[in-house]
């Protein structure tokens, strides 16, 4: 008898624990304490138990009644308080979407590190700048035809007696003389990466883009140093097997001036369908013109220097092998593009 009672108690507690609604709980309560419930029946039959055992069984039965009633009321409260009765902790979580740096920012960081590794110092100069720094000090007086290439945005401000109008920097070369003035006397090893602005928009141009500009000035700097630096960049940024080549060109602020090409990744300079003649154009470079050194108060008889500069977006697209049909996509915030990088 005792054993039956204890089993009954344990079973009931387990069933109560398994319930998830008040209705299920009520059913169990009826099965135990209802008119023909199990506990009710046993209580009724207690009088048939022989005297010796009756007292002990009676106490046990009372105990079980109390316990079950407590368990039922606790469970009932729990059900009332909880909105969710079951939670599967093993379900994999949903990760929140997190962003990352824009591809142009990634490119800037990488270009910057490549040059910083060999001693260049990162600089930034105003994007709204005096004409003098953007053109005049770079050997391009206001009536010079070469200026037409830099389709410049002019800012509507009164002219400065020495520095002239204000412009949105059309190239990072505007930082050259600024850097000479900041540093004072050479050595100078600048890498200036900044936004540039030109009045042009089509599939391969955007009115705002980025350039990086290198400037090195010291005693005895020659074209050999320029070539070495460009080759270093080509190998470290694009890959071990890449080379550069210099083609004569004309810029007002360098003499001699060059256009820099990089060997095609596919055919290594031999010529293929992709590059046509084996080389891809990167940008401009040259030996700093003596007039530019003078504008920065550096003596061209003592010091020489080289400079180079070109577009971040283009360089990055060449590295990534990106074939973006329209450069404007890079700034479109279209996640189908952005999430790929």
Calculate ∠ Cα 48-52-54, nearest 5°.
Answer: 45
**Residue number closest to ligand DAH, CB atom:** 284
Name which position in 171, 189, 210, 242 contacts ligand DAH (CB under 6 A).
171
Q: What are phi and psi of 222, to 5 degrees?
A: -130, 180
Cβ proximity to ligand DAH: between 14 and 224 the closer is 224
Which range of residues in 32-40, 117-125, 272-280, 302-310 is near ligand DAH by CB under 6 A? Answer: 302-310
Strand 188-197 relative to strand 121-123, pairing: parallel
289 sits in which H/E element: none
Fill in the per-residue mask, 203 to 222: x = in contact with ligand DAH (CB under 6 A), - = not in contact: ----------x---------
Name which position in 251, 279, 303, 316 contacts ligand DAH (CB under 6 A).
251
Q: Which residue is listed with tokens 């930082």?
A: 175
Distance CA 179, CA 225 (A): 19
Distance CA 330, CA 322 (A): 11
Distance CA 68, CA 304 (A): 97
Distance of closest approach, residue 231 Cβ to ligand DAH, in angstroms: 17
Which range of residues in 40-48, 63-71, 266-274, 303-311 is near ligand DAH by CB under 6 A? Answer: 303-311
Distance CA 340, CA 338 (A): 5
Distance CA 195, CA 132 (A): 18
Q: Is 296 in the site for ligand DAH (CB under 6 A)?
A: no
Q: Is 254 in the site for ligand DAH (CB under 6 A)?
A: yes
Q: Count residues contacting ligand DAH (CB under 6 A)?
A: 12
Q: Which residue is listed with tokens 């940008």?
A: 283
Strand 208-218 relative to strand 244-249, pairing: unpaired
Cβ proximity to ligand DAH: between 212 and 238 the closer is 212
Instruction: Return the structure tokens found at 319.
Output: 């590295």
Q: Which of residues 304-323 bind ligand DAH (CB under 6 A)?
A: 307-309
Q: Is 125 in the site for ligand DAH (CB under 6 A)?
A: no
Q: Is 152 in the site for ligand DAH (CB under 6 A)?
A: no
Distance of closest approach, residue 268 Cβ to ligand DAH, in angstroms: 26
Which segments of the chain are extended strands (E)?
121-123, 128-130, 154-160, 164-168, 188-197, 208-218, 244-249, 254-263, 279-288, 304-311
Q: Which of residues 6-45 bind ligand DAH (CB under 6 A)?
A: none
Cβ proximity to ligand DAH: between 233 and 251 the closer is 251
Which range of residues in 27-35, 279-287, 296-304, 320-328 is near ligand DAH by CB under 6 A? Answer: 279-287
Which range of residues in 91-99, 105-113, 199-207, 301-309 is near ligand DAH by CB under 6 A? Answer: 301-309
Distance CA 214, CA 308 (A): 5
Give whole-number Cα distances, 91 to 20, 83, 88, 95, 224, in Å.
21, 19, 6, 12, 63
Q: Is 285 in the site for ligand DAH (CB under 6 A)?
A: yes
Name which position in 284, 303, 312, 330 contacts ligand DAH (CB under 6 A).
284
Cβ proximity to ligand DAH: between 186 and 283 the closer is 283
Distance CA 153, CA 132 (A): 14
Distance of closest approach, residue 183 Cβ to ligand DAH, in angstroms: 16
Cβ proximity to ligand DAH: between 75 and 150 the closer is 150
Distance CA 115, CA 122 (A): 9
Which residues of this protein are in contact with ligand DAH, per CB under 6 A? Answer: 171, 173, 213, 251, 254, 283-286, 307-309
């Amino acid at each position: 008898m005792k054993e039956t009672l204890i089993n009954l108690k344990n079973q009931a507690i387990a069933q109560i624990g398994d319930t998830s609604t008040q209705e299920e709980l009520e059913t169990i309560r009826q099965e135990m304490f209802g008119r023909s419930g199990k506990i009710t029946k046993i209580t009724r039959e207690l009088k048939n138990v022989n005297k010796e055992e009756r007292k002990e069984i009676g106490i046990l039965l009372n105990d079980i009644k109390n316990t079950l009633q407590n368990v039922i009321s606790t469970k009932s409260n729990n059900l009332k308080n909880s909105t969710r009765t079951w939670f599967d902790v093993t379900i994999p979580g949903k990760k929140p979407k997190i962003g990352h740096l824009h591809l142009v920012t990634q490119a800037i960081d990488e270009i910057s590190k490549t040059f910083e590794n060999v001693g260049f110092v990162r600089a930034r100069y105003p994007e709204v700048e005096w004409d003098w720094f953007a053109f005049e000090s770079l050997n391009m007086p206001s009536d010079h035809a070469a200026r037409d290439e830099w389709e410049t945005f002019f800012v509507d401000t009164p002219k400065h007696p020495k520095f002239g109008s204000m412009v949105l920097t059309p190239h990072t070369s505007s930082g050259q003389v600024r850097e000479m003035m900041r540093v004072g006397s050479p050595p100078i090893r600048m890498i200036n990466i900044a936004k540039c602005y030109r009045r042009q928009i089509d599939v391969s141009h955007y009115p705002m883009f980025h350039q990086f500009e290198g400037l090195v000035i010291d005693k005895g700097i020659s074209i050999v140093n320029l070539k070495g630096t460009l080759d270093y960049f080509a190998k470290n940024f694009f890959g071990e097997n890449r080379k550069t080549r210099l083609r004569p060109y004309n810029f007002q602020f360098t003499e001699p001036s060059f256009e820099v090409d990089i060997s095609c990744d596919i055919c290594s300079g031999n010529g293929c369908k992709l590059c046509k003649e084996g080389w891809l154009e990167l940008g401009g470079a040259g030996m700093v013109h003596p007039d530019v050194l003078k504008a920065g108060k550096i003596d061209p008889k003592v010091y020489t220097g080289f400079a180079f500069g070109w577009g971040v977006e283009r360089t990055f697209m060449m590295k990534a092998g990106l074939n973006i049909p329209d450069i404007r996509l890079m700034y479109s915030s279209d996640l189908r593009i952005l999430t790929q990088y």
